[in-house]
Structure 1
Amino acid sequence: MSLFGYKAVILLLNVWIVNSSMFRNDCHVTTWTEWSLSGQYTESRSRKIIWLPPGGVSLCPPLCETREIKADCKVSEWSEWGGNFGFGQQLRTRNVTQNPMGTGNQCPNLIENRYIDKTPTVIETAKNVEQYFIRTRSNPYPGEWLHALVRRQTAQGSVRDLLLIMDSSGSIGQTNFQKANKEISTLIGLLCPENPFNKMNGQYQYNQAAMLTFSSTVYQNFDFDDYATTEDIQGAITKARYYGGGTNTAEAFIQALGMFQSSKGYRNSSEVKPEVLIFTDGQSNNRQQTLQAVEELRKVADVYGLMIGGFTERGKDELTAYVSAPINEHLFYVESYTELEALVKYLSDEKKQAGAWWCAPFNVG
């Protein structure tokens, strides 16, 4: 190679050295990693330094990037409309197939309730009361004899602290108030097990009951631990005083919330199922306050409603809003006190026919 050739090579080498990042203040980094979940609604990616220049990290580009995940809620198609219940209502539902994330659109309503021009028969309502209130779905049903033994062995009865809220307003009237109390006292006697509210050795082994009546004012008839036998509780219900006056349902729900306290004999919710059964024939005097109060009550107890009489669409909407979800398992309706009597008689006859199969065993440890 000629002298000129050597000089050219040396010149090119010097240019490369001068311009090389190893001898400049450039920072060399790897390529970005794939995006990965880094928080509930965020994901991030990172890269590493290959060459740190003499000037330090401050000369390097960002090594981490985070971005918000955005995903809209996705739902399934609507189910078919369900069976007739309540005031002549049907439900249909849909499920969430993808939860929303970040600023994605939230989920739409998952339940729709519509009225149809047909109320359930008394027997249809009685069967709903039996399945969803008197006996839980885990209990065996009369007539299913082929599987009853297996189901009875694997089912478990529900231990409850049940609060009754009885409408004592002027629209009820004293005669109908007494009829209602008589039928409700019979109804709760059908709960499981036999003698569902009897104490054992001074302690309630299974269920407890308390009661409020309401009109313009709310009256606390008895606490959860006031009576030692089912018969005594039934007697206290039938002897409750009628007051007349307005329909202050809001105050009834407020005081009901206060009944689920140890000072009222209420047991811990880890030991029992707290329940409310409200019997009423009309809208409240203060709809907004009532709905606010029952919303708080539903956070503490499962609220059932047994409604009676005639209602406007607005009234039906309000009373439907009292009960816990799913509403088709918590809302029951009869048009008259004759129908109420027929409903309770049907359930009493069903219990007699079922005999020992009426109740699932209780595991009270």
Structure 2
Amino acid sequence: MNYFSLDLVLLVFAVYNTASCTGFIFDVRTDCLLTSWSSWAEVPGLDVHVHERGILRHENKGGIPCPPRETMREVRADDIMKRWDSPEHIQDTARSLSENFIRRNPKPDNPTEPGHIRDLLIVLDSVESLDDEAFNSTKQNLAELLGMFCPDPDPFAKLYNHAVLIGVSNSHDEVFEFNNYDGIAAVKDAILQVHRDSNRSCMKSNLDAAFTMLTQTGIRSDILVDKDVLILTDGYSNCSGDVLASALRLRGIARVFSLLIGSFSSNGFNDVLNYVTTPVPEHLFIVKTQQGFDQLMTTLESQNNASCMPFDLPSTMK
């Protein structure tokens, strides 16, 4: 009996080591296998619902291929304009933004989960549907939003969160990098100094630059440091190329959030749905006007009195 068990172990070891690098133990024709569709979930504050599915197993050796990623999400818009920037919409969006992005309080579904510090990369689109005054107000709101992060008392002290900003125009002239600024006051001032020029901001170029920065420069490798991306955009890509492919590549290495603001098109809305990480309702926040963004910030500030959730800091910081 003991000899049989040993032979069986050796046989399994041999089969495993002769398997191809596709990840399948038996190198045979295999069809793509998908999860079931998730239940429909509402994007915070809107009469827009999304459901999604994922890939459990990729095809192999000529099996039925997996569908394109963009077909793995479906959107049901009951009345997309019905609640834009209404008080209910602002309240719902503020609640989602606080719980899923700012995260001062423990998450309701997992109250014991500690927070992580983050390397945050901000993609600031030119947001052409906003005039210069509204764009400057957007920068002010963004700076105040970062000040709501944890840990206290200064979320961007040198050993805590780091930030980098790219975008504004095609030229990428306006960039500040990880570790350039120590403290939230310096980060806020850097955001307020950013200007946009006459060149349109190319979303594909921005997403590719974000991927490069997160993989090659400035990023911390500790597993207790989250890689997060926040895209502020009106949904217009403003350039050719496969924007979705760039977005999916970025989603493979970071959690991608988006604040959609301004007079975006239905195509732009659908594009942004595919930029963000799953599940969409926890990663996409929408305001239609600059006034709506101002109201959102006022609501967040009124809710931002809670102390920070416990943080799981890297060992080098304890």
Query: What TM-score, normalized to structure 1?
Result: 0.67
Give the structure 1 partner of residue 51 of structure 2.
92
Kindly state the Cα deviation for residue 231 of structure 1 after the two structures are TM-superposed: 0.9
Residue 338 in structure 1 maps to residue 291 in structure 2: yes
More strand by share: 1
Given that residues 75 and 98 in structure 1 are in contact (C-alpha distance below 8 angstroms), is that contact kept between their aligned partners in structure 2? no
Give the structure 1 partner of residue 148 of structure 2.
190
Given that residues 215 and 248 in structure 1 are in contact (C-alpha distance below 8 angstroms), is that contact kept between their aligned partners in structure 2? yes
Residue 127 in structure 1 maps to residue 95 in structure 2: yes
Letter in 2 for 1:235: D
Letter in 1 for 2:150: C
Local SS of the residue matching 1:160: strand
Task: Judge which range, 165-174 or 87-96, deviates more.
Answer: 87-96
**Counterparts of 1:95 and 1:321 in 2: how far apart (Å)?**
13
Given that residues 45 and 90 in structure 2 are in contact (C-alpha distance below 8 angstroms), is that contact kept between their aligned partners in structure 1? no
**Counterparts of 1:171 and 1:111 in 2: how far apart (Å)?**
27
Letter in 2 for 1:229: G
Counting only pairs closer than 5 Å after superposition, residues 278-297 of structure 1 correspond to structure 2 as: 278-297=231-250
RMSD: 3.3
**Counterparts of 2:130 and 2:262 in 1: how far apart (Å)?**
9
Give the structure 2 partner of residue 24 of structure 1.
none
Local SS of the residue matching 1:221: coil
Structure 2 residues not aligned, in runs of 5+: 1-10
Counting only pairs closer than 5 Å after superposition, residues 38-117 of structure 1 correspond to structure 2 as: 40=24, 42=26, 73=33, 76=36, 78-85=37-44, 88-93=47-52, 105=64, 111-117=73-79
Q: Residue by residue, what CA displacement relative to the aligned partner does 1:49-84 show, whole Å, maximum 9, x if unpaired?
A: xxxxxxxxxxxxxxxxxxx576784755x5542224
**Counterparts of 1:79 and 1:112 in 2: how far apart (Å)?**
10
Give the structure 2 partner of residue 275 of structure 1.
228
Q: Residue by residue, what CA displacement relative to the aligned partner does 1:112-144 show, whole Å, maximum 9, x if unpaired?
A: 3322214461111111111111118xx426xx8
Local SS of the residue matching 1:222: coil
Give the structure 2 partner of residue 155 of structure 1.
113
Letter in 2 for 1:228: D
Give the structure 1 partner of residue 176 of structure 2.
222
Query: What TM-score, normalized to structure 2?
Result: 0.76
Inter-CA distance 284–71: structure 2 relative to 1 (3 Å threshold): closer
**Counterparts of 2:247 and 2:52 in 1: how far apart (Å)?**
23
Kindly state the Cα deviation for residue 340 of structure 1 after the two structures are TM-superposed: 0.6
Counting only pairs closer than 5 Å after superposition, residues 198-347 of structure 1 correspond to structure 2 as: 198-199=157-158, 204=159, 206-260=160-214, 263=217, 265-268=218-221, 270-347=223-300
Match for residue 179 of structure 1 among 137, 143, 159: 137
Letter in 1 for 2:93: T
Residue 360 in structure 1 maps to residue 310 in structure 2: yes
Inter-CA distance 135–287: structure 2 relative to 1 (3 Å threshold): farther
Give the structure 2 partner of residue 7 of structure 1.
none
**Counterparts of 1:290 and 1:101 in 2: how far apart (Å)?**
27
Kindly state the Cα deviation for residue 242 of structure 1 after the two structures are TM-superposed: 2.7
Q: Residue by residue, what CA displacement relative to the aligned partner does 1:155-200 show, whole Å, maximum 9, x if unpaired?
A: 311110001121235443321111000001111111111211012x
Given that residues 127 and 262 in structure 2 are in contact (C-alpha distance below 8 angstroms), is that contact kept between their aligned partners in structure 1? no
**Counterparts of 1:222 and 1:240 in 2: how far apart (Å)?**
9
**Counterparts of 2:216 and 2:33 in 1: how far apart (Å)?**
42
Structure 1 residues not aligned, in runs of 5+: 1-35, 44-67
**Counterparts of 1:232 and 1:256 in 2: how far apart (Å)?**
22
Give the structure 1 partner of residue 7 of structure 2.
none
Local SS of the residue matching 2:237: coil
Inter-CA distance 250–326: structure 2 relative to 1 (3 Å threshold): same
Inter-CA distance 269–88: structure 2 relative to 1 (3 Å threshold): farther
Kindly state the Cα deviation for residue 208 of structure 1 after the two structures are TM-superposed: 0.5
Letter in 2 for 1:181: K
**Counterparts of 1:41 and 1:105 in 2: how far apart (Å)?**
18
Give the structure 1 partner of residue 106 of structure 2.
140
Inter-CA distance 71–334: structure 2 relative to 1 (3 Å threshold): closer
Kindly state the Cα deviation for residue 106 of structure 1 after the two structures are TM-superposed: 5.6
Matched pairs, number: 286
**Counterparts of 1:114 and 1:313 in 2: how far apart (Å)?**
12
**Counterparts of 2:273 and 2:165 in 1: how far apart (Å)?**
21
Q: Residue by residue, what CA displacement relative to the aligned partner does 1:246-299 show, whole Å, maximum 9, x if unpaired?
A: 231222222222322564x32115341111111112411225333332232222
